Chain A
């Protein structure tokens, strides 16, 4: 029995060493320690007050980066659902609603949530240069008592 566990441990250690070596020699190696997410810069974020003004003026499009089920449970009124985890499935349809010059506010929920950050990066990579984040978007918006909808329609 003891020998079995020693061998099992050896398999784990040898496998881990193989992985570390393979990553070390791979041209597309990834860092061994995950780098922390760069915190959003001030110019990448929209304060709640400005977001509210943009919403009232109808001059910005709000994109919900969370899953469709989270979106249906409650979202900023008028926001479109563009779940970053299923970006390719939804982008073609959603992108008909805006252009690369549109003012876009991406949001998810929770201070730790990186979905909106990833959505912003993806959109910027596609040439949508005017994308910013509403940090902790849904909670901030909702607790401020601002207009919200439930269901899968904006």
Chain B
């Protein structure tokens, strides 16, 4: 079981680190130029993606865009490194609940918006795929929060 938990930890921690880096570094993927990191992080697009959900009050959307990726990075990084594993898993579980609720909210309102799940790196729209993917991640995170010891 230990090996399973280790793999799950690395997977979910890795997903969180990757999505955080994509948002912070404003990674762009284009057919013409492949993967590109912008020289200077720019949160403008991600902040717009957050605003499109109409979940946080409009005045707070920038604050969410500024802080969220770094919380993801810290929690994901700690989980991968095996430091404060349980606490990190708890944070990730809570974030997954919020993300799932936001996607559900967007779908329920028929918003045709970019997911923003991995920042600007993927232009995917919110939809059943994103919902299912987040549900799987939530299940893993909750399992880890339950099973891991700090």
- Residues on A facing B (Cβ under 8 Å): 3-8, 10-12, 14-16, 18-20, 22-23, 26-28, 30-34, 36, 67-70, 83, 85
- Other than the given A22-B41, A28-B40, A33-B63, 17 more pairs (CB < 8 A) read A7-B84, A7-B86, A7-B150, A8-B88, A8-B94, A10-B87, A15-B70, A15-B72, A15-B73, A15-B75, A18-B74, A20-B66, A22-B66, A23-B66, A34-B58, A68-B112, A85-B113
Complex alpha-carbon distance, A14 and B84, angstroms: 14
Complex alpha-carbon distance, A7 and B42, angstroms: 30
**Which of these, B52, B60, B91, B114, contacts A8 with CB under 8 Å?**
B91
**Which of these, A14, A34, A67, contacts B47 with CB under 8 Å?**
A34
Q: A5-B90, A15-B72, A34-B47 are in contact. Are A69 and B67 (CB under 8 A)?
A: no
Interface string of B56-71 (1 = CB under 8 A from A): 0011111101111111
Shortest Cβ distance from A15 into B: residue: B71
Interface string of B72-83 (1 = CB under 8 A from A): 111100100000
- How many residue-residue contacts, CB under 8 A, span A and B? 99
Chosen A-B contacts, 22 in total, with CB atoms closer than 8 Å, are: A4-B150, A10-B87, A11-B87, A12-B71, A15-B75, A16-B67, A16-B70, A19-B68, A19-B71, A20-B66, A22-B70, A28-B40, A28-B44, A30-B44, A30-B47, A33-B59, A33-B60, A33-B62, A70-B110, A83-B112, A85-B112, A85-B113
Q: Which of B83-118 contact A (CB under 8 A)?
A: 84, 86-88, 90-91, 94, 110, 112-114
Complex alpha-carbon distance, A85 and B114, angstroms: 8
Asked if B131 is an interface residue, CB under 8 A from chain A, the answer is no
Q: Which of A5, A22, A34 has the most CB of B within 10 A?
A: A34
- What residues on A are CB-neighbors of B27 within 8 Å? none
- What residues on B are CB-neighbors of A67 within 8 Å? 112
Q: Which of B24-62 contact A (CB under 8 A)?
A: 24, 40-44, 47, 51-52, 58-62
- What residues on A are CB-neighbors of B44 within 8 Å? 28, 30
Whether B40 lies near A11 (C-beta < 8 A) is no
By secondary structure, the A interface counts as helix
Complex alpha-carbon distance, A134 and B43, angstroms: 30
Complex alpha-carbon distance, A23 and B67, angstroms: 9
Whether B87 lies near A7 (C-beta < 8 A) is yes
Shortest Cβ distance from B110 into A: residue: A69
Q: A16-B67, A70-B112 are in contact. Are A4 and B59 (CB under 8 A)?
A: no
**Which of these, B40, B60, B74, contacts A26 with CB under 8 Å?**
B40
Q: A3-B150, A11-B78, A26-B41 are in contact. Are A19 and B69 (CB under 8 A)?
A: yes
Whether A31 lies near B87 (C-beta < 8 A) is no
Whether B112 lies near A20 (C-beta < 8 A) is no
